[in-house]
Chain A
């Protein structure tokens, strides 16, 4: 924020005093150095401090990136959760919108938001990440927001999908289901029954209040640890079947090219990733103590370690993980670091409970047969600290 835009806090308080009638009796020279006035009173809905500004970065109307480098802890404020949609945000009437479950079930059923809220509820914290994360970058002038801001974390509340499927009575031969949204393009994905019965939820609340429209209001599917596209928003229909439906989003899109020329399909799980959120572009730092901070997560379970290098990947040391370390959830890591004022590069790499170690960009490019990037690119990201304290993003070899 520039100085000219800085609000004059002292003046604002004087004006509030005048507004409630007491100010009129006071002349300016009767104000003592330590004299204070009451601030504004209570309100129905709070706002951010007017000296703070933190925003998503919207792009082309179909995507919006979470400002990871401007946030703390592990929960993403709901209005800063990343967005990705394929036909805009529908405005659905919660009294009319229904979820229909049909196909290979004993009894086809439909549920309104009110019906879903009457089921025993489950609350869990997990990330949702778009498998296109890292594909968009602005070269060395990339922030953690543009590089990695297609991941966000919320505390979600809803009903296990298994409970709803049990109500309808899934037939023995059923192995897949189609999840379909109520947005303009009726986005749809095939989901294996095993995941539906494991930890899938139909959620109607995010961070303690109704889900935001851009996150699927009145309710969405939530598949913890899986690519965000499968957590179908504005859920309107689940068709139970014995085979995948081969929708456009799992054939033309969201498939991964391999070194042998084939394409990997139904690559649902998000592999482990980490990103340093401070110090990074566009910050400039002074020599001395800094806390290297970041986030790490894995779609396969818990993060067991994050290693940080302060010499461009030549040696690594373990960062501290801030507990509780949750399953399939953003985990905060920290490492105190004294910068000696010499140019260097800092990097982080996540290790999850399966023993997977986050790869470099070159390693991924080798197994995915590309010189660029694609879905499911989760490379180590480097931050080049220049001698003048300015910082640039670097890609890892």
Chain B
């Protein structure tokens, strides 16, 4: 009981001053945020206006991506993007990506590797359509946009499980 009173007395002045908030930093305006807020979530939140077809995507892919990822989406110097019987077991969009929205988000933020940020949103939709088509996840005549992209079911989704390690034994 005595200890409790002691702690209470010590805590009082701190609570009274509320030193946990500081008059520091600046308001981020909606313009500040819009300039950099590019993330896309699995439920489609964050997808921008625009659309893209497989045919357009193929044209952009051959021009801007094939040199590093191979003309057919595999066999290039960098990651294979398309599952084929020949690369079974390799992680590709078709075999290992749990969400279609990640394809859009990653291409828009990080590709092409030497000039990220250079693609229009329509190009990114088109490239996403083309890569999903080549992985046999959508038909050739599908046009993807903010409404349809997040509805695509990715077979790899079922593969992912949460981390069950908690320290101690056994080895997991």
Instruction: Name 6 extra pairs, CB < 8 A, besides A100-B32, A102-B33.
Output: A100-B36, A108-B28, A110-B26, A118-B22, A188-B39, A236-B36
B28 touches A252 (CB 8 A): no
> Please, how many angstroms separate the alpha-carbon atoms of A111 and B27 in the complex?
9
Tell me which residues across on chain B come within 8 A of A262, comparing CB atoms.
159-161
Of A109, A266, A301, A367, the contact of B162 (CB 8 Å cutoff) = A266
Contact residues of A between 248 and 268, Cβ < 8 Å to B? 248, 251-252, 255, 258, 261-268
Tell me which residues across on chain A come within 8 A of B113, comparing CB atoms.
87, 185
> Please, how many angstroms separate the alpha-carbon atoms of A107 and B29 in the complex?
10
Q: Provided the pairs A110-B26, A237-B37 are in contact, do residues A166 and B165 lie with their beta carbons within 8 angstroms?
A: no
Kindly count the residue-residue contacts between A and B in the assembled complex, taking CB atoms under 8 Å apart: 150
> Please, how many angstroms separate the alpha-carbon atoms of A101 and B27 in the complex?
10
> Please, how many angstroms separate the alpha-carbon atoms of A248 and B97 in the complex?
8
Interface size on B, residues (CB 8 A): 47
Tell me which residues across on chain A come within 8 A of B13, comparing CB atoms.
none
Interface residues of B (CB under 8 A from A): 20-22, 24-29, 32-33, 36-43, 91, 93, 96-99, 101-102, 105-106, 109-110, 113, 116-117, 159-169, 171-172
A87 touches B169 (CB 8 A): no
Interface size on A, residues (CB 8 A): 58
B38 touches A300 (CB 8 A): no
Query: Does A364 make an interface contact (CB < 8 A)?
Result: yes
Tell me which residues across on chain B come within 8 A of A239, comparing CB atoms.
37, 39
Q: Provided the pairs A237-B36, A356-B168, A363-B171 are in contact, do residues A252 and B161 lie with their beta carbons within 8 angstroms?
A: no
> Please, how many angstroms separate the alpha-carbon atoms of A367 and B110 in the complex?
33
B171 touches A108 (CB 8 A): no
Of A102, A246, A271, the contact of B42 (CB 8 Å cutoff) = A246
B168 touches A115 (CB 8 A): no
A110 touches B28 (CB 8 A): yes
